[in-house]
Amino acid sequence: MFIVIIGPPGAGKGTQAKRLTEEMGLIHLSTGDIFRENINNRTELGVKVKKLLDNGILVSDELTIEIVKDRLIDLGFDRGAIFDGFPRNVVQAQALDDFLRDNGAKVSVALSIEVQNEVVIDRLTGRRTDMKTGRIYHVIYDPPPVGVKVEQRADDIRETVEKRLSDYCETTVPIIEYYKQRGILSVIDGNADVDDVTENLVKCLSGEVLL
């Protein structure tokens, strides 16, 4: 089974994808994790991606699609995967459909986690990253332990967050309709408690798991 999780930045896609991965035994394929891995290793790709993200600019479709294809080929198609942060637009969604179809697979369900803009801004601008481990904290909801050195990532500054939301509305929201027309879209309230969101996602997928 291949699942797509859609939602604005700060919707909790990564957290929920990891929980669903454990619950269902699927592979968690996060473009954000792939990019961060390259950034931390200071690869040529990492340098390019960091410069883009620091300025609130999305990575190109061509580069993102190729990275996902390569990772899927490495992982194989037997276990299925949960896509987190991909696809970001209709072009990427169509490319994913074509690639999966060519390999005898398909997207079974698209989960749209809806969160109000005010909630997104509050969640992201309060995030702080452990400079040593990369773990993410929140100054209010999950403050870092005393003595842990943290920093606010450039893409979590309010101005950048607002631009990311604008980009999401312009480029990603249209894929909600794309999957809706295919009859595989399910909408989840992402403003709820994280455990409640997980429970609702599992309930939503329970029928799909039996297919």
b/e map of 73-90 (b: 16 or more CB within 10 Å)?
A: eeeeeeebbbbbbbbbbe
Q: Report pLDDT digits (tens) over 9-28.
A: 889 898 999 999 988 888 99
Q: List the CATH number of the domain containing 192.
A: 3.40.50.300
In a domain, residue 69? The reply is: yes
Number of domains in the chain: 1
- pTM confidence score: 0.82
> Which of 164, 180, 182, 203 does the annotation list as catalytic?
164
In a domain, residue 51? The reply is: yes
In a domain, residue 177? The reply is: yes
In a domain, residue 165? The reply is: no
Q: Report pLDDT digits (tens) over 71-97.
A: 898 888 888 999 998 999 999 999 999
Q: Is the CB of residue 71 less than 8 Å from the CB of residue 99?
A: no
| Other Cβ atoms closer than 10 A to 14 | 17
In a domain, residue 164? The reply is: no
Query: In sequence order, what E strands does 60-138 have?
Result: 81-84, 107-114, 127-130, 136-138
In a domain, residue 163? The reply is: no
Structure tokens at 110: 């698209």
Q: Report pLDDT digits (tens) over 130-175.
A: 988 888 899 998 999 999 999 998 889 999 999 999 989 999 999 9
Structure tokens at 93: 């969604």
In a domain, residue 10? The reply is: yes
- Enclosing domain of residue 48: 2-115+172-209
> Which of 13, 19, 123, 128 does the annotation list as catalytic?
13
In a domain, residue 26? The reply is: yes
Q: Is 164 a catalytic residue?
A: yes
45 closest CA partner among 74, 67, 28 = 67
Q: Is 128 a catalytic residue?
A: no
> Which of 36, 48, 71, 153 does the annotation list as catalytic?
153
Q: How far apart are CA 64 and CA 95, in angstroms?
A: 11
Q: How far apart are CA 35 and CA 68, in angstroms?
A: 11
Rounded to the nearest 10 degrees, the angle between the axes of helix 31-40 and helix 61-75 is 100
> Which of 19, 88, 123, 128 does the annotation list as catalytic?
88
> Which of 19, 123, 127, 128 does the annotation list as catalytic?
127
